[in-house]
Amino acid sequence: MQPFISLLAPQRDTSSPLYLQIANSLVSAIRSGHLLPGSKLPGTRELAKQLKVHRKTVIAAYNELYAQSWTEVLPQKGTRVARNLPEIKAKTWSKEPDSSFEGTITVPFYKMPPPSPFTPMHPVITPHLILDEGIADNRLAPLDLLFREYRSRLKHSYTNRTVQGALAAGSPLLRESLVPYFGETRGLSIQPSNILITQGAQMSIYLAASLLIRPGDYVLVAEPNYFLANKVFEQLGAKLLKIPADDQGIDLQAAEICCKKHRISMMYVIPHHHHPTTVTLSPERRMQLLELSAKYNFAILEDDYDYDFHYSSTPYLPLAGSKHNGRIIYLGSFSKLLSTSVRAGFMIAHKDFIDQVLRLRVLIDLRSDHLLGDSLAALINNGDLARYVKKANKIYHHRRDKLCELMDQQLKGAVNYKKPDGGMAVWVKFNPEYPLKDISVRASAKGLYLSNGEIYNTEQTSYNAVRIGFASLNTKEMEEAVQILKQAIFG
């Protein structure tokens, strides 16, 4: 027995409970053949004494072994190592085993049009600092509160008490709590049946566009536009009609010329802080857009992802809050508001449209994480979300001003920008003598990631511009980042 006991001596490390350490040592001893199938284990009292641990710890270890099928319990006789060990050894059956995915693919498959917007990088880049295109600061968002709610729901047996098919549109609790929430924050008067919970704004765009666009249809977009929205529409076979925009937003006279020439199915619009340029659509243009949409009967996909963050002004009520006869599909996301790791977006539309979208959604993605949805609902209902939005507005306001101040001081002569009303990023245009392609490489060598701006370019135009997010960095980080950027620009 002595050599066997020495194998079991627990390390008393802090990473796993003592009983689990003992159980794992026993598993190792069984696996390595030190303990043979059928051999009797010492009594719990005896082993506890030998290992100098409480007997309860040994009992817990034995229970664990039994639960994992490593042991059998003999009435009146104690525990022995199972005669049929529980290792799941999968059966081989192939004449030509070849577990790799190397070589050349022989079957035909559809190739997606280049360029690839994102490619996974190996090794993954974890630079010292990142100037992102505008994401929330995980450190400010009430993620600890969100996951406290999450954890408390994990244990409830009711998590198995909902018919799974009923969750296809998202957490019922979240859809219910969004009714008063969108009433208060956006003046919308809706029902749960008008709401679909998605994994984020991108999925909302894809789903809505899939029902609105048939191959060959004409779609109006601003130029430049959110590049992944354009890619969705093109993927669905749309012909994009790119409309110029000024500091009031999209040029609706140019849009009407298109409407006269072609039957338009849909227009995509980002009314607050257009991506990438951060321009806000003016009230006059909003009115004109609604009139145009009614006159030519096209749908409006209103992507209001940036509604919550305003510093120099208050937001405008959504287009969806005006008379539109179901022509408007309104969408946004909690991922932008809270954290990129929180996957939850929404679509608000006419019930008949939601009913159809739902059918497509289950084909693409059965359902979202309903416990996350329930937890978000709790944060909405108890006011935590509204408190966070207030706080974040104050802090991000300060960070926007700080970034602009730093750019004025440090990057003078190289960049120009217009301070955005709100949102999380500044659209920074670099002067032609400072190509972003080179600056990005030089910054990267100094530990700062900055996009080279290629994702914003179109076939027609190279903008030599980039969105610089200010929300995710604190003052110190921002000072350091702009300092590196300065060196990358001026050498």
CB of 45 to a copy of itself, least distance (A): 25
Contact between 315 and a copy of itself by CB under 8 A: the answer reads yes
| Region binding a copy of itself by CB under 8 A among candidate stretches 89-97, 246-254, 399-407, 479-487 | 89-97
Q: Which of 42, 35, 28, 21 is nearest to 82 (CA)?
A: 35
Contact between 179 and a copy of itself by CB under 8 A: the answer reads no
Pairing of strands 195-198, 345-348: antiparallel
CB of 165 to a copy of itself, least distance (A): 4
Q: Considering only the C-alpha atoms of the chain, give the largest distance between any 2 of them, rounded to a whole number of Å.
A: 92
CB 399 within 8 A of CB 471: yes
Contact between 299 and a copy of itself by CB under 8 A: the answer reads yes
Decide whether 364 or 413 has the Cβ nearer to a copy of itself.
364
Contact between 314 and a copy of itself by CB under 8 A: the answer reads yes
Decide whether 361 or 486 has the Cβ nearer to a copy of itself.
361
Phi/psi of residue 467, nearest 5 degrees: -80, 130
Contact between 93 and a copy of itself by CB under 8 A: the answer reads yes
Contact between 94 and a copy of itself by CB under 8 A: the answer reads yes
Pairing of strands 71-74, 78-81: antiparallel
Chain centre distance of CA 214: 28
CB 211 within 8 A of CB 190: no
Which strand (E) or helix (H) includes residue 219?
A: strand 218-223
Contact between 127 and a copy of itself by CB under 8 A: the answer reads yes
CB of 293 to a copy of itself, least distance (A): 8
Q: Which two tokens stand for residue 488?
A: 């990358």
Q: Which of 320, 389, 326, 319 is nearest to 353 (CA)?
A: 326
Contact between 97 and a copy of itself by CB under 8 A: the answer reads yes
Instruction: Lay out the site mask for a copy of itself across 424-453 (x = CB under 8 A, - = otherwise).
Output: -------------------------x----
CB of 6 to a copy of itself, least distance (A): 22
Question: Would you call 272 helix, strand, or coil by DSSP?
Answer: coil
Instruction: Lay out the site mask for a copy of itself across 233-252 (x = CB under 8 A, - = otherwise).
Output: --x-----------------
Question: Would you call 250 helix, strand, or coil by DSSP?
Answer: strand
Among 32, 104, 253, 460, binds a copy of itself (CB under 8 A): 104
Decide whether 1 or 105 has the Cβ nearer to a copy of itself.
105
Among 210, 381, 457, 462, binds a copy of itself (CB under 8 A): 210
Which residues, listed in sequence order, are joined to residue 429 by a DSSP beta bridge?
A: 416, 465
CB of 267 to a copy of itself, least distance (A): 11
Q: How many residues bind a copy of itself (CB under 8 A)?
A: 155
Binders in 318-357 for a copy of itself, by CB under 8 A: 320-327, 339-343, 348-353, 355-356
Distance CA 308, CA 392 (A): 10
Contact between 150 and a copy of itself by CB under 8 A: the answer reads yes
User: First and final CA of the chain: distance in angstroms?
Assistant: 71
Among 29, 179, 228, 258, binds a copy of itself (CB under 8 A): 228
Contact between 13 and a copy of itself by CB under 8 A: the answer reads no
CB atoms within 10 A of CB 55: 14
Distance CA 401, CA 419 (A): 8
Contact between 180 and a copy of itself by CB under 8 A: the answer reads no
Chain centre distance of CA 255: 32
CB of 125 to a copy of itself, least distance (A): 5
Contact between 254 and a copy of itself by CB under 8 A: the answer reads no
Q: Which of 57, 54, 30, 58 is nearest to 44 (CA)?
A: 58
Among 5, 7, 9, 364, binds a copy of itself (CB under 8 A): 364
Decide whether 56 or 390 has the Cβ nearer to a copy of itself.
390
Q: Side-chain half-sphere of 6: how many Cα atoms within 13 Å? A: 2
Contact between 37 and a copy of itself by CB under 8 A: the answer reads no
Contact between 394 and a copy of itself by CB under 8 A: the answer reads yes
> 327 Cβ partners below 8 Å, 6+ apart?
293, 294, 297, 298, 299, 300
